[in-house]
Amino acid sequence: MKRTRASANASTSATHAVSHVELAAMVHNYLAEHGFARALREFQIEATSLLRTFPRGVPPRGTKDLRAVLSEYVVMKEREAARGRAGGVVKRMLAVIDDALPRLEDDENNGGAG
């Protein structure tokens, strides 16, 4: 399926979702940094439409590390599972915190106004 540049840049869902371009940058840099030269060449061919958004088709080195993103995800899922096992008062406290977090993030994004 061929994607347009606009759809390639669009995030997949939520506000903090990773776009196709960001994911391509992470995969590119992971392959390059870990010496997967042949896989990198093939990826560059396959992901040309995504990588061409970067100067010379090469993502910046400062792109978040793919392994770090996956590690954060694993930690988040483990915490989520632990919350599911929490009982009584602890479970209700966590629910209150989870409900408050989006409002706090909105306040921070709006310069503290809220």
Q: Inter-axis angle of helices 37-46 and 20-33, to 10 degrees?
A: 160
What are the residue boundaries of the structural domains of the chain, listed by start?
A: 5-57, 66-109
Predicted local distance difference test score (pLDDT) of residue 113: 55
**First-last CA distance in the chain:** 43
The tens digit of pLDDT for each residue in 58-114 reads 898 888 899 999 999 999 999 888 877 888 888 888 889 888 988 887 777 777 655
Q: What is the pTM of this model?
A: 0.62
The tens digit of pLDDT for each residue in 38-55 reads 999 999 999 999 999 998
Helix, strand, coil: what percent of the chain each, to 5? 70, 0, 30
Predicted local distance difference test score (pLDDT) of residue 61: 83
